[in-house]
Amino acid sequence: MEIIKPAVAGTLESSDCQVTVEAGEGKIDFSLESSVINQYGNQIRRVVFETLENMEVKNVRITIIDKGALDCTIRARVEGAVFRSVGQIDNLPWGGAIR
């Protein structure tokens, strides 16, 4: 899936995260700001990269501002931002159906 336009999903509320995606420069450019980065930074990165791989996104600049979101929330926010970026609003395979 190719990122077409910048898109955002999520909030800056507690237990959520805000994900921004933009067209990349031939790779995945990952940026993370988190209040729990020392404890969970590697896990957040793993969830983001797995989700992007499952969605076949290889060229993206992704920025995440995390406020203690669970893995399922991070995954949903990444999926939401990518789908918004490509303008897909119908027939969304929510619930982990993306493989």
Cα separation, 98 vs 80, in Å, equals 12
Three-state SS string over 45-90 comes to HHHHHHHHHHCCCCCEEEEEEECCCCHHHHHHHHHHHHHHHHCCCC
pLDDT of residue 88: 82
End-to-end CA distance of the chain: 12
Question: What would the pLDDT profile of 9-46 be if each residue is shown by its tens digit?
Answer: 999 999 999 999 999 999 999 999 998 999 999 999 99
Report the residue count for the chain: 99
Question: What would the pLDDT profile of 54-66 be if each residue is shown by its tens digit?
Answer: 999 999 999 999 9
Going by their DSSP bridges, the two strands 28-34 and 60-66 should be labelled as: parallel
Domains of the chain as residue ranges with CATH: 7-86 (3.30.230.10)
pLDDT of residue 60: 97
User: What is the pTM assigned to this prediction?
Assistant: 0.90
* Structure tokens that stand for 64 in this block: 């995440």
